[in-house]
Amino acid sequence: MIQDGGQIISGTNNSSSTGAGGNLTVNASESVEMIGGKGDFPSVLSSVTDGEGDAGKIKITTRQLSVRDGAQIQTSTDVDSKGNAGNLEVNVSEFIHIIGTTPGGEFPSALVANTSGIGNAGKLILNGKQLLIDDGAEISASTSGGEGGSIFVDFNSLEAKNGGRLRTSTSANNRAGSITLKVADNIILSGADSGIFANTTPESQGDGGNIFIDPPRVTIRDGAKIAVDSQGTGIGGDVELIAGFLTLDNGEITAATRSNTGGDVTLNLQELLLLRNGTKISTTAGNNQFGGDGGNITINSPFIVAVSQEDSDITANAFSGRGGRVDIKTDGIFGIQSQSQLTDFSDITASSDLGVDGEIFIDNPDVNPSKGVEELPADVVNAAGLINQNLCTAARRGSEFVIIGRGGLPASPHNVGNVNSTWEDWSIARESEISPPKPIKRDNQSTRKNESKTPIVEAQGWIFDNNGDIIFTAFPVQVTAKDTWLHPNDCQRLRVNS
């Protein structure tokens, strides 16, 4: 733990020195804590050079890293130095929390790789599970002389809120560094001044840096931004984002420039782009004092959804230069439409106030729900009309044909089948489970009694009684056409009981 303005520094402090600063390595099994400051001096873990040599590297390996209340971990070069800043590498098995500022707001809690001389800024390399940047804290790689440093983040989740930010910038003639975020789960940016920035200052001539982001889900809300704006005379950097879901709720993604060509924004989404509450996606260039061409916007998403009345815009505009190009490929776009100029509703524009308007291309399959649908008849089919009325006119007089039963229950699957019985496809039990049939004991008295009965004679014909029912007879009966139920003019009630 380093607190109350405590400092651990490795470096050179002589401007004529040509030697490199020493490396600083921290291995802690549980945690590393950096807390607060004292007066104008924050608690610091630092590698620095103010000579011609390069600053040393800082490498921290631990389970948890906490930097709070204005404390800092930094590699840097002084104004008069010619050397490069060293790299800062942090590997944690759980989390990095960077929170707050000194009580007066003079210093933010930070991980820093800066250069103030002509040398290049170092790289920031961070690995772990959870990264939180909160309450004005920052991760920064900037330059006021040489090339800006780059930031590489590989975490499961990243959250920057309440003014927390990742930032590369240049205030000199050289390009700002790039930011690469590889996040396994989600990124959440919330609150004004929060976000991810690769910018240039108004006095600079260098180009803005690039930002590459690759998580499954990104949420930008409540004034937070992803920005590669160039406020100087350089070209704006590019933003490339690959994700499943991207939600902007009063958030912004910008690659704008004040006086040169705006950078490009590329969004490749697998599920949805949702725009709410005044969201902006912009590659606008120039203003009433400066010119410049608008950058390009490319969006590939199955669905793009906005609310028309909430004034969320996608713009590649210019002031006096040429408007940029907006290229959208989607299966469905809702609540936002292309316009020649911005309105109070949600718009897509590529205009120029004084120059040549840009182009808008929307590749959206022209699906008409009414095409390819078979129109069903409005009239209900009369089922009675499908019946052949000539089959039996007696049906109109209420005759009916009824069959009751099937002559008994099916045989048990465990009994020996009767050759005269109808076969039922029952599952066949294993032979070991089938008991042999028990011998049938015959009652002599019942046998003699059955033998004394009148023998059964097969029916030879039938007659109708007064109720129209059939009576089977043992002698043949001559049947006339009038007697049969098949005659169409005199169908009788036929009832067969089994």
Question: Does residue 353 belong to any structural domain of this protein?
Answer: yes
362 and 464 part of one domain = no
pLDDT band at 234 (very low <50, low <70, confident <90, very high): confident
Statement: residue 31 has pLDDT above 80: yes
Residue range 468-485: mean pLDDT, rounded: 62
Q: Indicate if the pLDDT at residue 489 is higher than 50.
A: no
Of the listed ranges 109-113, 247-251, 312-316, 460-464, the least confidently predicted one is: 460-464
- Greater model confidence, 207 or 382: 207
Number of domains in the chain: 2
Among 324, 349, 367, give the residue marking a domain's end.
367
**Res 422 pLDDT > 70:** no
Same domain (yes/no): 342, 484: no
Tell me the per-residue pLDDT of 182-215, one tens digit each, with 9 for 90 and over: 999 999 999 999 999 988 877 777 777 899 999 9
The answer to the question of residue 33 being in a domain is no
Q: 119 vs 255, which has greater pLDDT? A: 255
Q: Which range has highest mean pLDDT (46-60, 158-172, 365-379)?
A: 158-172
Residue 486 has a pLDDT of 45
Question: Does 337 fall in a domain?
Answer: yes
Q: Is residue 46 part of a domain?
A: no
Give the residue with greater pLDDT, 3 vs 119: 3
Ranges 113-122, 163-172, 218-227, 489-498, most confident? 218-227
Q: Is residue 471 part of a domain?
A: yes
For residues 480-495, give the mean pLDDT. Answer: 46
Q: Tell whether 489 and 352 lie within a shared domain.
A: no
User: Which of the two residues, 82 and 457, has the higher pLDDT score?
Assistant: 82
**Same domain flag for 223 and 331:** yes
Tell me: pLDDT of 447 over 60: no
Task: Name the more confident of 260 and 284.
Answer: 284
pLDDT at 63: 97
Residue of 322 and 191 predicted with greater confidence: 191
pTM tops 0.85 = no
**Does the pLDDT value for residue 136 go beyond 90?**
yes
Per-residue confidence (pLDDT) for residue 56, from 0 to 100: 84
Residue 319 pLDDT exceeds 50: yes
**Percent of the chain topping pLDDT 70:** 72
In a domain, 331, yes or no: yes
Is residue 224 located within the same domain as residue 350?
yes
- When mean pLDDT is compared over 99-103, 309-313, 356-360, 435-439, the highest value belongs to 309-313
pLDDT tier at 495 (50, 70, 90 boundaries)? very low
Residue 223 has pLDDT above 60, yes or no: yes
User: What sign does the dihedral 224-68-90-64 (CA atoms) show?
Assistant: negative
Query: Quick check: is 133 in a domain?
Result: no
| 463, 352: one domain | no
- Please report the pLDDT score of residue 472 as a whole number: 74
Quick one: average pLDDT of 266-279?
Answer: 97
Averaged pLDDT score across all residues of the chain: 80
Reply yes or no on whether the pLDDT at 152 is more than 70.
yes
Check whether residue 220 and residue 360 sit in a common domain: yes
pLDDT given for residue 221 in this prediction: 97
Q: Over the stretch 71-105, which tens digit does the pLDDT of each residue have?
A: 999 988 777 777 788 899 999 999 999 999 988 88
> pLDDT class for 487, splitting at 50, 70, 90?
very low
Is residue 285 domain-resident?
yes
Domain of residue 344 covers 214-367
